[in-house]
Structure 1
Amino acid sequence: MRDDTWADEAEAAARLVGYGFRPKHTPARDETYRLLVKRYHEDPDFAHLVKRCAAGMGLKVVGVSTRSGMVHAALPGSVFETKMDQFVRQVRMREQREAERVLYGITHLAIAVLAFPRREDLADDGYVGKVRASEVTQYVRSVCDLLAERAASVDQEDDPPAEAPELERAWRVYLKRPEVAPTRKGNRGLSATRTITTRALTYLFDRGMLTQQGVDPERSERLYRTTHRYQMQVRELAATRAYEELLTLGVLPPVTDTDGLRTINPDTLYD
């Protein structure tokens, strides 16, 4: 009779990796999931097998916890990798795809930085970030304005050099777009920066990275809160060059203890 012990181990490891593709499904709602997470933390050999199983699928295990379950990210070249041009296709942007790729990229980056404006917030598992579409849109535009001012002060040409920092190459694209750009039917146009921000937030919400906390009656817009799953993903993002550039620009709004980010004054960037 064949010994299926090894096969059972491999199947259990693959099942745990598979749970990572169900971002809104948590161990608290599934006893099998909970036991696999528990085993991952208590059995080093099983944890190693899970990581190797994920690697074979082109995935990196970002974290495993009872709160968020399995969180993994696609390795470069993986079939599961969602590049920014693929994301643009998913949100049905058919024209100016290269420009949209840049705009959505910088918007996603801004959401991450605004959600966790301090490194201690990113390191604190109990911290919950808060973002609104208007804050993200205004922050990105403020950053672009600052970069434009810096470029003008050194008489920089319209086209930045290839070795320029990532944000230096992106702000020109963003500033050319209107915030609203209404259509004939009164809706926001697809190219409007506010539409880009809303779609980026919706994308993260649909993947269990953000939760929605109703509509703020005073601002008439939805408030999003970060999940632990998103926090773990942003920790990976924090190692990128562009994320570091945003943090060092010095234009992050202050943070309060009661309501997350305060509104940025369009003239001073602060209240």
Structure 2
Amino acid sequence: MTVPLEDVRAAAELVAFGLRAGARPTDANPYGVLLERFRSNTGFRDTVEAVAGGLGLTVLGAPSRGGIVLTTQPNSVFAVRMSDLRSTAMNPDDKLVAGLIVLGIAAYAFPRQLDLDSTDVKIVEVAALDAFVRDAIEAVSALPGEEDTVDGQARIAANVYARMPSFKPKDRQPGPARGCTQFAIAEVLGWLVERGAARVMPQMGPASYQLTDRFRLLVADVAGGEALAALRAHRQRVVA
């Protein structure tokens, strides 16, 4: 069956909305209208998934509180890399620590696999997350595996993280300075905000963030290996 060009165009428009981190669907705007069509019309949903696939993207879902959630396929032009975290160059240690922090956020907010099915609001705070990752360093540092594996890289990252100071004050303003782990965490969370995976929550504190359904679905799609399992196990012991 031939798909009308208008449907292909509408599907591409919805995918484009999904790629814009700041786009928010409502009942009255074009994004919301297209999203409702995706949820209710199987044929249109198939067209959206085909258009996304052609661009190297996979549709993870369309949660009720958010827009369409996309993830990248291997070698996609839209792939997000740790080197995209900041405009200035990241050295290898920066990238390792950033990757560990992402796993730490996932384990902190979703310590059990079944937590990924919940739409409860998840709040993370920079200092609390830093303390959690530091407490779990020993477990991650003990992971086996070659250095070029995910777990091997996490082990190296844990050792780098442990050597960094938790907090270094800025010279003339509040907040952590570059070179400490709390700065690295704030940087990663800011990066997630730019991609619609988190929101700043100043009413909860100056360094608090709410994770969105986009982040939840992305975590559900990513296999973190033994590193994520170790962080989750530590988090489960803490909250038990």
Range class of TM-score, shorter chain? 0.7 to 0.9
Q: Which amino acid aligns with 1:171?
A: A
Residue 137 of structure 2 contacts residue 158 of structure 2 at CA under 8 Å; is this kept in 1? yes
Residue 34 of structure 1 contacts residue 66 of structure 1 at CA under 8 Å; is this kept in 2? no
Q: CA–CA distance in 1 between the matches of 2:14 and 2:237?
A: 38
Residue 140 of structure 2 contacts residue 231 of structure 2 at CA under 8 Å; is this kept in 1? no
Structure 1: gaps spanning 5 or more residues: 256-271
CA pair 103-236 structure 1, distance change in 2 beyond 3 A = same
Q: Which amino acid aligns with 2:74?
A: P
Match of 1:84 in 2: 82
Whose helix proportion is higher, 1 or 2? Answer: 2
Match of 1:208 in 2: 196
Kindly indicate whether residue 16 of structure 2 is the aligned counterpart of residue 24 of structure 1: no
| Structure with more relative contact order (C-alpha pairs < 8 Å, separation 6 or more) | 2
Between the aligned residues of both structures, percent identity stands at 25
Q: Which amino acid aligns with 2:193?
A: F
Q: CA–CA distance in 2 between the matches of 1:184 and 1:43?
A: 56
Q: Which amino acid aligns with 2:128?
A: E
Relative to the length of structure 2, the TM-score reads 0.85
Residue 37 of structure 1 contacts residue 65 of structure 1 at CA under 8 Å; is this kept in 2? no
Local SS of the residue matching 1:101:
helix
Match of 2:162 in 1: 175
Post-superposition offset of 1:215:
4.9
Kindly indicate whether residue 240 of structure 2 is the aligned counterpart of residue 247 of structure 1: no
Q: Which amino acid aligns with 1:240?
A: G
Local SS of the residue matching 1:65:
coil
Deviates more, 1:164-173 or 1:77-86: 164-173
Kindly indicate whether residue 213 of structure 2 is the aligned counterpart of residue 228 of structure 1: yes
Q: Which amino acid aligns with 1:71?
A: V
Q: Which runs of structure 1 show a deviation greater than 6 angstroms over 4 or more consecutive aligned residues? A: none
Post-superposition offset of 1:77:
0.8
Match of 1:143 in 2: 136
Q: CA–CA distance in 2 between the matches of 1:163 and 1:82?
A: 20
Residue 117 of structure 1 contacts residue 252 of structure 1 at CA under 8 Å; is this kept in 2? no
Q: Which amino acid aligns with 1:229?
A: R
Structure 2: gaps spanning 5 or more residues: none
Deviates more, 1:13-22 or 1:179-188: 179-188
Q: CA–CA distance in 2 between the matches of 1:42 and 1:251?
A: 38
Post-superposition offset of 1:205:
1.9
Kindly indicate whether residue 104 of structure 2 is the aligned counterpart of residue 121 of structure 1: no
Post-superposition offset of 1:110:
0.7
Post-superposition offset of 1:251:
6.2
* Superposed CA RMSD: 2.7
Residue 25 of structure 2 contacts residue 35 of structure 2 at CA under 8 Å; is this kept in 1? yes
Kindly indicate whether residue 192 of structure 2 is the aligned counterpart of residue 198 of structure 1: no
CA pair 170-252 structure 1, distance change in 2 beyond 3 A = farther
Relative to the length of structure 1, the TM-score reads 0.76
Q: Which amino acid aligns with 2:224?
A: T
Q: CA–CA distance in 2 between the matches of 1:246 and 1:122?
A: 15
Q: Which amino acid aligns with 1:118?
A: R
Local SS of the residue matching 1:108:
helix
Residue 164 of structure 2 contacts residue 179 of structure 2 at CA under 8 Å; is this kept in 1? yes
Residue 180 of structure 1 contacts residue 194 of structure 1 at CA under 8 Å; is this kept in 2? yes
Post-superposition offset of 1:147:
4.4
Q: CA–CA distance in 2 between the matches of 1:108 and 1:162?
A: 19
Residue 129 of structure 1 contacts residue 225 of structure 1 at CA under 8 Å; is this kept in 2? yes
Larger radius of gyration: 1
Q: Among 32, 35, 48, which residue is 2:33 paired with?
A: 35
How many residues are treated as equivalent by the alignment?
235
Q: Among 2, 7, 29, which residue is 1:9 paired with?
A: 7
